[in-house]
Amino acid sequence: MPDTYASLHRRQLLAGSAGALVAAGLMSRSGVANAQAKALPEYAAWKHGDSLIVHSSTTIEPKRSAFGSSVITPAEQLYIRNNLPTPPATILADRDGWQVSIEGVRKPRTLTVGELKTLGLDSVATVLQCSGNGRGFFPHKPSGTPWTVGAAGCVVWSGVPLRAVVEALGGVADASLVYLTGTGGEKLPEGVDPKSVVVERSLPIKALGDALLAWEMNGAPLTLAHGGPLRLVVPGYQGVNNIKYVKRVAFTAKESDAKIMQHGYRMTPLGGKADPSQDSVLEMNVKSWINAPHPDTGPVKAGLLQVHGVAFSGTSPVTKVEVSVDGGKAWHAAGFVGPDLGRFAWRQFAVQLRIPPGKYTLVSRATDAAGQMQPEQRLENASGYGNNSWADHAVQLTVV
């Protein structure tokens, strides 16, 4: 709900002691509880601490009740999920000097961000979502962060279209290069096989059509927390494919042989072991959830109720959202609200319902332009990826 105190800016709260703020009604009791929870890591200290759940120094998500209804997720509330320790802030010292190697093109070379900026400019709004978002709903408790809905946001990126860079370098070298491979620039720990830790992902080359090398997010230079100075943004694809601190973009004949590609992020059957024959975590699937009303924001009074949430898919726009208050027996058509930021962004949906006192199970179900409908049940898999079950995303509500 937009009116939760939890998302008041942390720095505003820092203007006084927690006790005084509770007295003034500016901090909720849960805010105080939070102050005793895990602190934000230094590289993300500028985030809205009170809107967030800090799982670890590299895994942070906003609370469901802190999602707003304005299409854009503020940087201060966007989730963080880093596979490796965050690089030192010194890599932002000379943003324009950051280098990325472009390989598998006719004229391969290393370009600086400063050079990239002369080659083109575009902005795209995308849903950025960790493929493990919704893992917390899997009953077999997969290892990994138990995200519920927070490991997703909708942000606007600015940078150069990757295809403009490829064109400037003579095009893709030959037709056998059917993968777009991106490599992260994190410093790798010593004494281990680099391939066992490097963040390197390969996508079907069709992803080139929409990919961006981005240096800005939501109107500000890309922060360290989100991959600055340069990130490979692949609209419609699960978060891990959007390579942070990108140092290499290559067109390759084979998928990367890095562990994160070969054995990580695979749709492995329950009880099985990950292997490269299984589907990789690539395009996102159709999904929606309700953000308000939510029990965290206090008792809900009987009468008119605005139910709202977000809906999105992979590379196809969502066209329909339905809402149910009885756990999926009867469905009500919801409307889209606010600006349409394009097929890679999420849409806010809302429906006005008149609800008498009682207990309710609120769920939403999205359909995209390709005809894909959000399913009732999750696709079971060992690591808990791709959960778009509408039943799992239910909100239990007591109306008084």
Task: Find the binding residues for a second copy in span 269-328 (CB under 8 A).
Answer: 303-306, 308
Instruction: Examine residue 124 and tell whether it contacts a second copy (CB under 8 A).
Output: yes
Instruction: Examine residue 348 and tell whether it contacts a second copy (CB under 8 A).
Output: yes
Residue type, 108: P
Distance CA 350, CA 346 (A): 13
Residue 143 per-residue DSSP state:
S
The residue (of 75 and 282) whose beta carbon lies closer to a second copy is: 75
Tell me which of 79, 215, 245, 360 binds a second copy, using CB under 8 A.
215
What's the closest the beta carbon of residue 209 comes to a second copy, in angstroms? 17
The residue (of 96 and 174) whose beta carbon lies closer to a second copy is: 96
Span interacting with a second copy, options 123-131, 260-268, 325-333, 363-371, rule CB under 8 A = 123-131
Question: What would the two tokens of residue 234 be?
Answer: 């692949």
| Contact assessment for residue 51 and residue 297, using Cβ atoms and an 8 Å cutoff | no
The residue (of 49 and 384) whose beta carbon lies closer to a second copy is: 49
Distance CA 142, CA 257 (A): 24
Distance CA 66, CA 172 (A): 44
Q: Which residues pair with 347 in a beta bridge?
A: 311
The residue (of 84 and 119) whose beta carbon lies closer to a second copy is: 119
Output the CA angle 197-144-213, nearest 5 degrees. Answer: 55
Instruction: Examine residue 72 and tell whether it contacts a second copy (CB under 8 A).
Output: yes
Tell me which of 170, 189, 272, 338 binds a second copy, using CB under 8 A.
338
| Contact assessment for residue 68 and residue 42, using Cβ atoms and an 8 Å cutoff | no
Distance CA 109, CA 124 (A): 26
Tell me which of 57, 58, 123, 262 binds a second copy, using CB under 8 A.
123
Instruction: Examine residue 45 and tell whether it contacts a second copy (CB under 8 A).
Output: yes
The residue (of 189 and 358) whose beta carbon lies closer to a second copy is: 358
Please tell me the count of residues contacting a second copy according to CB under 8 A: 75
Instruction: Examine residue 333 and tell whether it contacts a second copy (CB under 8 A).
Output: no
Instruction: Examine residue 17 and tell whether it contacts a second copy (CB under 8 A).
Output: no
Q: In what order do the strands lie in the sheet with 332-333?
A: 332-333, 318-324, 358-368, 395-399
Span interacting with a second copy, options 91-99, 176-184, 193-201, 356-364, rule CB under 8 A = 91-99
Distance CA 371, CA 333 (A): 16
Span interacting with a second copy, options 151-159, 253-261, 277-285, 379-387, rule CB under 8 A = 151-159
Interaction residues for a second copy, span 153-212 (CB under 8 A): 156-158
Distance CA 240, CA 245 (A): 12
Interaction residues for a second copy, span 223-242 (CB under 8 A): 223-224, 229
Interaction residues for a second copy, span 362-391 (CB under 8 A): none
- Which burial class, exposed, middle or buried, applies to 92 when counting CB atoms under 10 A from its CB (0-12, 13-18, 19+)? middle
Distance CA 131, CA 246 (A): 19
What's the closest the beta carbon of residue 353 comes to a second copy, in angstroms? 10
Instruction: Examine residue 20 and tell whether it contacts a second copy (CB under 8 A).
Output: no
| Contact assessment for residue 334 and residue 350, using Cβ atoms and an 8 Å cutoff | yes
- Phi-psi group of 67: left, alpha or beta (phi > 0 → left; psi -120 to 50 → alpha; rest → beta): beta
What's the closest the beta carbon of residue 30 comes to a second copy, in angstroms? 15
Span interacting with a second copy, options 101-109, 136-144, 179-187, 336-344, rule CB under 8 A = 336-344
